[in-house]
């Protein structure tokens, strides 16, 4: 008497359960979920910032200022405003808190998008958070231990001896933190490629087709961030980005095969 409804075909990247959850959750529900994730991120950031505040002297003297003193000659850092050191400490503590709480921040991000994942993929959230964190921290380590010392040494010896380099502490810390955070974000390229490929937005074929364009873009970026113009130094900075791009092609291929397997099974 009643016509039997056909089952809904599983969408790529989404299970029947995730589709049901999407139907049940309204726009306001999504906003509420986002609000609580942001609240949890802020709480985690406050805790991490408090911990960094306890060890602020060590972070400032050892992690931030010490690289400037290892150059030959050492760089002279100066403060030019009465409350300069207060704001300097506050910036360093806050940025250190962001780096320390990055695993928690990334975990909350992935938990927010978890309903859109397949049921079997949800059990890998911890692994995804782990690899995303590793990528970010690897970028931070690369910038701090490789790029920063080399660039500071170049700044210390470049130019005429008639001009004494006396660097504002605010300009110095801004340079150091921007370099570290940008490098950390660049190292997230493999994870970004994975999820764009799972959504069908990015394919390995597309990345291989435009590999030459990507190499040119990488060399331009390396030329901008590299303090010298010699090919060797540019290669030192460009090589990791090229390796990340090739790694992203491989990872995008894995994601594409998984997406096609889901579509075939559906």
Is 223 a member of any domain? Answer: yes
Specify the pLDDT at position 61. 94
**Nearest Cα to Cα of residue 114 among 136, 92, 129:** 129
Of the listed ranges 87-96, 117-126, 214-223, the one predicted with least confidence: 117-126
Identify whether residues 129 and 193 lie together within a single domain. Answer: no
Question: Residue 102's domain spans which residues?
Answer: 12-187
Is 181 a member of any domain? Answer: yes
User: Of the candidates 156, 187, 218, which is a domain's last residue?
Assistant: 187
Tell me the C-alpha distance between 235 and 215, whole Å. 12
| Partners of 166 in beta bridges | 76
Specify the pLDDT at position 14. 43
Is 173 a member of any domain? Answer: yes
Q: What is the mean pLDDT of the chain?
A: 82
The number of residues making up the chain comes to 266
Tell me the C-alpha distance between 233 and 236, whole Å. 5
pLDDT, one tens digit per residue, over 104-130 is: 998 888 888 776 666 666 666 677 778
Query: Does the structure show a pLDDT above 60 at 180?
Result: yes
Identify whether residues 143 and 255 lie together within a single domain. Answer: no
| CB-based contact 69:75 (threshold 8 Å) | yes
Identify whether residues 131 and 60 lie together within a single domain. Answer: yes
pLDDT, one tens digit per residue, over 23-58 is: 456 767 778 888 899 999 999 999 999 999 999 999
Tell me the C-alpha distance between 101 and 138, whole Å. 15
Identify whether residues 241 and 114 lie together within a single domain. Answer: no
| CB-based contact 136:185 (threshold 8 Å) | yes
**pTM greater than 0.85 (yes/no):** no
Is 7 a member of any domain? Answer: no
| Partners of 76 in beta bridges | 166
Query: Does the structure show a pLDDT above 50 at 10?
Result: no
Identify whether residues 73 and 108 lie together within a single domain. Answer: yes
Identify whether residues 100 and 35 lie together within a single domain. Answer: yes
| CB-based contact 202:193 (threshold 8 Å) | yes
């Amino acid at each position: 008497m009643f016509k039997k409804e056909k089952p809904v075909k599983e969408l790529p990247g989404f299970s029947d359960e995730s589709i049901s959850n999407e139907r049940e959750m309204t726009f306001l529900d999504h906003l509420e979920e986002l609000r609580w994730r942001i609240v949890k991120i802020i709480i985690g950031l406050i805790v991490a910032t408090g911990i960094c505040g306890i060890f602020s002297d060590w972070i400032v003297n050892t992690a931030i200022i010490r690289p400037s003193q290892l150059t030959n000659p050492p760089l002279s850092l100066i403060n030019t405003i009465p409350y300069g050191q207060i704001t300097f400490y506050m910036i360093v503590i806050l940025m250190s808190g962001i780096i320390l709480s990055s695993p928690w921040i990334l975990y909350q991000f992935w938990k927010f998008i978890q309903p859109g994942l397949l049921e079997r993929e949800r059990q890998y959230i911890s692994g995804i958070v782990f690899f995303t964190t590793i990528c970010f921290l690897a970028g931070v380590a690369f910038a701090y231990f490789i790029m920063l010392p080399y660039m500071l040494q170049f700044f210390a010896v470049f130019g005429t001896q008639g001009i004494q380099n006396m660097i504002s502490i605010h300009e110095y810390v801004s340079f150091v933190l921007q370099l570290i955070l940008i490098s950390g974000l660049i190292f997230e390229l493999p994870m970004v490629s994975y999820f764009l490929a799972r959504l069908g937005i990015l394919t390995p074929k597309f990345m291989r087709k435009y590999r030459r364009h990507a190499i040119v873009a990488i060399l331009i970026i390396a030329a901008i961030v590299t303090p010298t113009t010699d090919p060797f130094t540019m290669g030192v900075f460009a090589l990791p980005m090229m390796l990340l791009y090739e790694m992203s092609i491989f990872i995008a291929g894995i994601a594409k095969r998984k997406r096609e397997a889901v579509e075939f099974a559906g």
